[in-house]
A and B are shown apart, each in its own frame.
Chain A
């Protein structure tokens, strides 16, 4: 039986044959219970390459992997294709650092700077939606080449994506096929992890597990490093099992200037500072002050943020019911 193709989005898309992904997982992803704890610098150096497809979880407002993003900028990675599923600050900063070439857009926030980069054609965008990108990651996590869904049908978003519409052989109705997404590297910030990479989050998970499972390399940054027994006490809270993970970075305040549920609130003033950046000059000045001129995350916190501010953000967070 022939399946009838009804429509085809025109965009290129990142894609790996599921069998190639499986073999990568078999050969390159260790199941050893080995200590994967390392510094940001080492993790990014080891696992992020120029030209990689980079995914990250949640947003810069909440539980985003900001210390890892800053390290990528500091190491001046180039030609990244990023998955801006649900993102605000990261894409602007990565573009400012000259790290980004292409963006798969679900929601591409923050401000005039990044909008202008797109309007000028300096950064190329491919329009998807938050839902379709998440389903693509789910397909990538399932080891299948595509997932059928009813997102995007008929819209210009569909035309500018890499989706396909076919006549579904079961219902005889049109359905969209979303190609699986298997990123080269995923950055995920969590509240708690052990040294092997078992990890859990408190709060909504967005696409934590899907992103980790679908990605060739996974770097976890964690507010707290805990003993493995903590996971065995509450196994239903484990979002990521250790064998998905390549590196674990201990990063208190790793989501700053965003917040992390139960730990600290976002720094609204710092946000305003970044979101109001309009010109290249302002962006470079910002990156110089907050990224290039400090050696690492600790130095950033000590010299650019300061204990007073951090204490204030912790106090604002109020450990609310349900977060522990």
Chain B
């Protein structure tokens, strides 16, 4: 029997998507762990870029959450630059992948990381805001969103659209002035994987973690997504992925221990 957390699944699934010899704009927290796992196992020549200005660090292991732009996460960088330059690399088209988390997401991949509630002046819950999320989602060629699969997170319209998806209030990215051929590319959750329908730009279920059914996944969403004709079964984390995650990258379990434990025969 194999035991892992749904967070571990999500991290492994996202790490398998990155390509070698590409650049990736990495958001704070879970995306960092995904990039570290990918770098360690699948894409040794990927260049990570961080909004605080570290370009191409070979981050020290184990992962420590708190250090942000400190030595841990900027170790052996190729360049230390400014935030304006880091975002300009993305705005000018140099960054292939973006990787972000989200508190809420809607049918078109718009992201909320600002607030929950209907009254902006008196939010029910206030989050930190965009950070660099807006820029990552606006500028990277392909954005990967990594988030836990909960009903309340999948909404018809986000309470607040912090970062752009494919369509906002009926308008396409290009009509809004965002760079063409960009936008959310995959959404990886703790149970499933989605892409976006080429024509309608709607979220579409394309993969489900082994042990779950399409129905279970869809039931756990605030709206009914499109479902691909053929939904693939997503492999659980491999022994090697789990070993690297647990022993080398996150031995303190700062990220991977969160979430529900899944047991597979």
Interface on A for B, CB 8 Å cutoff? 58-59, 61-63, 85-86, 105-109, 115, 118-121, 125, 127-132, 134-135, 137-138, 149-157, 160, 165, 168, 173-176, 202-210, 259, 261-262, 265-266, 268, 271, 317-318, 320-323
Contact B70 A259 (CB under 8 A): yes
> What residues make up the interface of B, taking CB atoms closer than 8 Å to A?
50-54, 60, 66-71, 74-77, 80-84, 87, 91, 110, 114, 120-135, 138-139, 158, 160-164, 168-169, 171, 173-179
Contact indicator A205/B164 (Cβ below 8 Å): no
Contact call B138/A150, Cβ cutoff below 8 A? yes
Once the chains bind, are B177 and A204 in contact (CB under 8 Å)?
A: no
* Residues B66 and A61 in contact, CB atoms below 8 Å apart: yes
The residue of chain A having its C-beta at the shortest distance from the C-beta of B127 within the complex is: A115
With CB as the reference atom, state the residue of chain A lying closest to B55: A204
Number of contacts between A and B (CB, 8 Å)? 207
What are 17 residue pairs bridging A and B, where the CB atoms are less than 8 Å apart in the complex? A59-B68, A61-B68, A105-B130, A128-B129, A130-B132, A134-B82, A135-B84, A150-B139, A151-B138, A152-B134, A153-B177, A157-B114, A174-B175, A204-B50, A206-B53, A320-B60, A321-B75
* Chain B residue with Cβ nearest A105: B129
CB of A252, distance to nearest CB on chain B (Å): 17
Q: Which 8 A-B pairs have the closest CB atoms?
A: A174-B177, A204-B53, A154-B176, A129-B130, A131-B135, A107-B131, A129-B134, A131-B87
B135, A130: Cβ atoms closer than 8 Å: yes
Specify the chain B residue showing the minimal Cβ separation from A260.
B70
**In the complex, which residues of chain A have a beta carbon less than 8 angstroms from the beta carbon of B80?**
202-205
Check A130–B54 contact: CB distance below 8 A: no
Shortest A54–chain B CB gap in Å is: 18
With contact pairs A131-B83, A266-B66, A322-B76 given, residues A119 and B123 touching in the complex (Cβ less than 8 Å): yes
B162 contacts which of A125, A135, A155 (Cβ < 8 Å)?
A155
In contact, A205 and B53 (Cβ under 8 angstroms): yes
Would you call the interface of chain A mostly helix, strand, loop, or mixed?
A: loop
Cross-chain contact A130 with B164 (CB below 8 angstroms): no
Asked, given contacts A106-B131, A130-B51, A154-B173, whether A59 binds B69 with beta carbons under 8 Å apart, the answer is: yes
Residues in B whose Cβ lies below 8 Å from that of A202: 80
Nearest Cβ on chain A to B121's Cβ, whole angstroms: 6
Residues of A within 8 A of B121 (CB): 121
Complex Cα spacing A268 to B68, Å = 12
Bound together, the chains give a CA A62 to CA B133 distance in angstroms of 20
Closest CB of chain B to A212's CB: distance in Å?
12
Report yes or no: B52 in contact with A109, Cβ–Cβ below 8 A.
no
Min Cβ gap B187→A in Å is 18
- How far is it, in angstroms, between the C-alpha of A321 and the C-alpha of B75 when the chains are bound? 8
- Known contacts A151-B91, A173-B177, A203-B70, then 19 further A-B pairs from the complex at CB < 8 Å, ordered by chain A residue: A58-B69, A59-B52, A61-B68, A61-B69, A63-B69, A105-B128, A106-B129, A107-B130, A130-B83, A131-B132, A150-B139, A154-B176, A157-B162, A175-B177, A204-B53, A204-B54, A207-B84, A266-B66, A266-B67
